Every structure is written in C-alpha cells, then in structure tokens.
Amino acid sequence: MRVIEVDQLAEHLGPYLERRPRVVASGNFATPRTLLDAVDRVLPSYRLWMLNAQPGVPERDGVVHETPFVGPGVRGSKRLSYIPARLSLVPRMFARTYIPDVVLLHVSPPRDGHVSLGVEVNVLPAAVEQARANGGLVVAQVNPDMPWTTGDALLPVDQVDLAVEAQEVLASPAPRTPGAVEAAIGERVAGLVADRSTLQLGIGGIPDATLAALATRRQLRLWTEMVSDGVLRLEQAGALDADVPLVTSFLFGSPELYAWADGNPRLRMQRTETTNDPARIAEQPLMTSINSALQVDLYAQANASWVRGRIYSGLGGQSDFVVGALHSAGGQAVVALPSWHPRADRSTIVPTLEAPATSFQHSWVVTEQGAAAITPEPFEVQVRNLISSAAHPDARAALEQAVADRHLLR
C-alpha cells in the first residue's frame, strides 16, 4: 500500500482516460468522498457502481450509475442503470459481467499489516479480489474516524495499491421517530418474536420500531445484512445474547453506533456471500426475517422495490433472507407495512401487484390492523386473513369484490 497525495491520483488513472472504466465505491454511509471527487475530476466518462448511493455522488453527463440497490443519491437519475439481482449474487457478477476496473475503499488506518473496512464490508472484498485478478486498481481513503471492525472487514495492506490519507466524519442518516402507525406495527411484529430468536431486519421506520419493541426479549441473536441504532438499543437493554457474535455485513447510524462498533469484539463483519447465503441463514436457530414492503397482494406477493413503474430500491437481501428464514428450524419470515398509503390515499393490500414482486411466501403479513398468517395456510385462508387481519377497513369491501370478480375462493 503506497500512500500518495490526492492530487497524485490523476497520474495513476491515466490508463482509464480513453475508456469508460467501472469504478466500484463503498456505498451506504461509507462513501469515500475525497477519492470519489478526485476520480470524478480526472475521468471524463466512467461507470460508478455503488450500493444505496447517498446524495452528493457525482451526477453529470459521462457518469452512468450501476447498482442492484438504488439509493437516494441516484434515484430518478436519467443515468441510472438498474441491475435486478439478489445481493447474495452480486459477487458472482463482479467475476463475470461487471468486472471492476477501479475500486475505491474507505478504511481505517492500518494495524498489524491490515486496514479495516469499518462500517461497510458488503460486496467490497469480492470487488477487490476481482479488480486485482484482472489488473485493476484498488485505492483506499484512510480515515482515522473509520471504526475498526473485524471479520471480513480486515484487508491486508498488500491488497491495496494506493492510499490517500483524508479524515472525514462519517455521515449518519437523519434521526427519525417512528410515527403512531409504525409504532403499532412494530409492537405487532415484536409479538411474533420469541426469546432466543435470531433476527434480520431491513431498512426503514418499521424495522426500527420493531427493534424498539423488542427490548424486553432475552438472548436474541443477530444474523443480518445491516445493523442500525436499534440494535445498539437492544444491546443496552440486555436483550442480546452476550455469548454469541453479532453477524452483519454493514452498518450505519449515529456517532454513538460508530463508537460502539469500534473495536467491538462481538461484532463480526462478514462479506455478503456469507451473511446473505440462504443456506447459512437457514442454519440459524429461530431465524426471523423482518422486512418492509410497499404493497402486498392477495396472492401474498410483496413489492418492496418499485413505485409508479420506476425502480425505487431493489431486491437487496429481502428475498435471500425470506428463503433462508423459512428453512430455519422454527424460523419465520415477516413482511410489514402500513395498511394505507397516506400520500397516495389508497390501500397497500391490493388484489394483484402493480409492480414486480420482491418476495413471496412469507409467514406473516403485518400491518397496524393485525397479523395475517400466510405460509403454510391454504390459499383460501391466506386471502381471508389478508383481508380481515391486514387490510384497512376502508379497503375490505373492494378487496372482497375483487375476490368475487376473480373467483379466487370456492
């Protein structure tokens, strides 16, 4: 790992000036902004590959945004190239059709011959391996504010070609308090979770509300792709099993969360191929997958990715964890959402999805109205449960009419 000044990076990018290279960068809230800004100044044209890109990433002619999970920084961009893919399969894409030319990492200062990827492991180890195997360039922004985490976060310094030292306060999502509907849903979901369960929770207000409602549980475990402040609150409440590692692939939240992660021996950061492998997920006892959705239809299919015909996020890890949880001993997969969309002023329980399905065959569909049992109930029972227990009262008559019109029930 050779340390250079940021303005020296231009000479190392020379081989990519006459082509349109693929630049893979740390995503979520670990964006290496110093490096990314420098690359954007040098390269006239490139493909920027990031997961859940946040506002402030380059957005101009010449930059194509490639991603299987769309973040607010590129959502709605006319330069967006969405790649439908489960997160668990992204490392295979790097080896076949989306080979990285340049990888931009955000790491801690080195210790004992390693740097740490800190709060964002995810698909980055696979990107580094493929870039090096194919003659690409690996550059790291070395930031003393990046927490030191272990597991697959540890990267030998000889796997990094160039390093730029640049201190940067890690970004945090805007704090938010769950509303009354989200809190009610969180309480209902928490009611399905037993002591000693293994948890996976997605992104959003409902997973956060669910974590808040689980503070009285005991000996909970964690096998998830992400960690937020809600997990820290469970730790502080004594709800987590102190003898079992907390397995995740990335985290983001408050400065308090980052301080908790720094040097935490129980926090094991793993690569996506491990955390999101349905077979590995199925090995976890009482695996409980909890994810949000935008719509659920009477066939118990959930859309968590598309809004008004446009991609909003992506498959992420939801489908991986739903499958894994259903094969776990005592496992269950929960999809949770409000029964009514206030902005669109319409039901979120619909006769059929208006967009592609993100996942299906859940154990439960939960709204503030109740919890509808799905798998392994007969289809007729699924339909009745969704209407009577999950749908908003104002939507039930129309749903019943749809059932009759489609001859769904005998």
Q: Residues with catalytic annotation?
A: 225
Name the packing angle between helices 205-213 and 180-190 (round to 10°): 50
Q: Cα separations (Å) of 290 from 185, 238, 326, 365?
A: 11, 21, 12, 10
How far apart, in whole angstroms, are the C-alpha atoms of residue 365 and residue 371? 6
Return all residues near 9 (Cβ < 8 A) that are at least 6 apart: 35, 38, 39, 42, 139, 162, 164
Distance of alpha carbon 396 from the chain centroid = 33
Q: Is 60 exposed, middle or buried (0-12, 13-18, 19+ CB in 10 A)?
A: exposed
Structure tokens at 44: 């006239």
Are 258 and 237 within 8 A, CB to CB?
no
Let me know: does 383 contact 200? Beta carbons within 8 Å.
no
Do the beta carbons of residue 24 and residue 47 sit within 8 Å? Answer: no
Calculate the CA dihedral of residues 347, 350, 353, 358 and round it to 10 degrees. Answer: 70
Q: Which of 204, 189, 197 lies closest to 316 in space, CA to CA?
A: 204
